[in-house]
Amino acid sequence: MIDKSFLFLFIVGVLGLPNTSRSESHDWPAYGKGAGGGNFSLAAEITPENVSQLRQAWVHRSGDYHQGNEWTKDKVIDSSLQTSFQATPILVEDTLFYCSPYNKVIALDPASGEEKWVFDPKIDPEGKGILHCRGVSSWVDDSMSQSATCRHRIVSTTIESELLSIDAATGKLCEGFGASGRVNLRSGLGGHDHGLYYSTSPPAIIGDLIIVGGSVADNVSVDVPGGVVRAYDARSGALVWYWDPIHPDQKPVLDVDGSQRYQRGTTNVWSIISVDPELNQIYLPTGNTSPDNYGGHRNGSDYYSSSVVSLDATTGKVLWHFQTVHHDVWDYDVPSQPTFYEIEKDGTIIKALAQTTKMGFVFLLNRENGEPIFPVEERPAPQGAVEGDYVSATQPFPTKPAPLTSTDFDPEEAYGFTFWDRGYCKRASSELRNEGLYTPPSLEGSMHYPSSIGGANWGGPAVDANRKILVVNTMNLASTIKMIPREDCGKALKELANDKVQGAMSAIEENIGTPYCTLRAYGLMSPLGIPCTKPPWGHLTGVDLKTGEHLWQVPLGTSKDLAPFPFTRIKGAPNMGGPMATASGLTFIAATSDYYLRAFSTESGKELAKFRLPTGGHAVPMSYTSLDGKQFVVIAAGGHWAMGSPAGDYLVAFALPETE
């Protein structure tokens, strides 16, 4: 018998027939599969009927991880700095590329997981914050011959704020790019500690341009580095243009020699950038102006904060922007990649984007002009900011889709495993200022719900382009914010805290240059370490993009690996990561605090299968078909400090077992 896949490849090769569908199911050329995300694979060998048969095909380990104060090279660092392996690999020209938390770039054989090469930028992990890297990018120079050095380049950034151009064939730096393959992203930002500015998301590629944002440390100072977005020439590494996110009426700041200096403390773009080559537009998900919870000093500098901003790719000029939160003092960054889809409305095909948010809202926008697909209403918001600040009288609420998670915390509904810890949660939450979503930060302590880690977060949604279904994971967690007058900021954490503000990861945040520091608890927890919100603590939701209606919503994960026996079967777990959809009607997601990769029906939300991982898979999975026709699903399992899952370095591939 003649192998059909071989016969097909033979016909394509001999007759020169186009092989577009084969290529699209094989490659995963960018972080979100497409230049506008979506995490949608056309590979369809794995189906709802056979998905339960998946088996581990291979595992690759980089060795780059550390568990808090234990580093694999016997070097002790701060215990709060556990690594988090969040990378989604890309697949280009039959090679899988990904980055480790130490910013190594690794090339693998996609069928076997065997290493082809490793590039090590040799970063110093000390004092760099939480070490992670979400992905790398790919650029091919079509003007060069197939065998030319650096024809195909892997573009990556580092925690030390460098932009790298690496030959995809050899793993060596491209000498003609910047300074021997490296561009210093700290240029123009002014002197600062390495821990205040860094890059963890993959650059975007449009034409011959590399588009780079950066992450700025939260709640340190009003004078942290600015959030400039820059475009570099993909061949030379030369700066082509920059966008400094200052108010349109504000004059740029100049250095003493008259040269441009990027303004400090501006909103930054730390998440995934999207590009549309046909429209020649770049789409930025922006964060906050520093610091997060006080804005009395901003004077309009948060004009572009918590927004989707569209830039002209040729010039870097703003075409439009849509703000999801006005004068954001809640750390409600736009956290995820603006995700493209197309939809028909009134007989016209609309090029649209979906923007998920930490509030649990989804804004559906026309990506040509930023106009909402469904009406967005300005509704009254709670008032009464701390002295020296203000809050907006209204905030934007999408009429469709409905919120993906609750936006009101009722103390009477406080949760606990026992009467004792439930009583604690009820008492603590009832003493907080609590007026629903957008309750302003206060001196007495305010409920922050949903918390600043979501709702939705950086994992973003998957979009089944065939079925027009958006799938997104969310959390149902509360946190607290208490503003501390500057004269009291030197007191110990325990002296300042009380029942109202204690919780997981409580910290004093300095906010230097403002009248207040912040006592923030990133999770309102009972004394047993259980969220005070009642479960499910995590959901997966399917949204019909044609109607804006929820199709289904199901609990995501369980309390296994989070809670002690006998409380291990609670449905709905805290989660961090995102989903991936396939053409056969499957949605894959790990993300949860229990260590599983799960497969759901995209159409119904029914859980069809789950597969044990060595630790939490807090990344976005991807899928591809190898040259011999086998479909793989790949997920990074490396734990996450906020989810309580231990650090690891496992890149795990699943496939159907071999058949005769």
Residue 624 forms beta bridges with which residues? 632
How many other C-beta atoms can be found within 10 angstroms of the C-beta atom of residue 220? Answer: 20
Place of tokens 């026996």: 565
Assess whether 141 carries a catalytic annotation: no
Q: Which two tokens stand for residue 198?
A: 């860094």
How many other C-beta atoms can be found within 10 angstroms of the C-beta atom of residue 607? Answer: 17
Residue 347, sorted as left (phi over 0), alpha (psi -120 to 50) or beta, turns out to be: left
Q: CB-based burial of residue 296 (10 Å sphere; 0-12 exposed, 13-18 middle, 19+ buried)?
A: middle
Q: What's the DSSP call for residue 643?
A: G
Give the C-alpha distances (Å, rounded to integers) separating 654 from 53, 56, 558, 612, 625. 10, 4, 22, 11, 12
Choosing from 331, 333, 464, 649, which is the catalytic residue? 331
Spatial separation of the C-alpha atoms in residues 230 and 241, rounded to whole Å: 6
Radius of gyration of the chain (CA): 24
Q: CB-based burial of residue 343 (10 Å sphere; 0-12 exposed, 13-18 middle, 19+ buried)?
A: middle
- Contact by Cβ (8 Å): 359, 332: yes
Q: Which of 471, 472, 440, 467 is nearest to 455 (CA)?
A: 472
Please give the helix or strand (H or E) that residue 10 lies within, else none: helix 4-15
Length of the chain in terms of residues written: 660
Spatial separation of the C-alpha atoms in residues 584 and 348, rounded to whole Å: 27
Spatial separation of the C-alpha atoms in residues 603 and 414, rounded to whole Å: 33
| 3-state helix/strand/coil string of 403-446 | CCCCCCCCHHHCCCCCHHHHHHHHHHHHCCECCCCCCCCECCCE
Before 455, cis peptide (omega within 30)?
Answer: yes
Sheet holding 115-119, edge to edge: 90-92, 95-99, 105-108, 115-119
Q: Is 6 helix (H, G, I), strand (E, B) or coil?
A: helix
DSSP 337-393: --EEEEEEETTEEEEEEEEE-TTS-EEEEETTT--BSS-EEEEE----PPTT----S
How many other C-beta atoms can be found within 10 angstroms of the C-beta atom of residue 239? Answer: 14
- The maximal CA–CA distance of the chain, rounded, in angstroms, is 83
Residue 334: how many CA atoms within 13 Å on its side-chain side? Answer: 28
Q: Is 210 helix (H, G, I), strand (E, B) or coil?
A: strand
Catalytic amino acids? 331
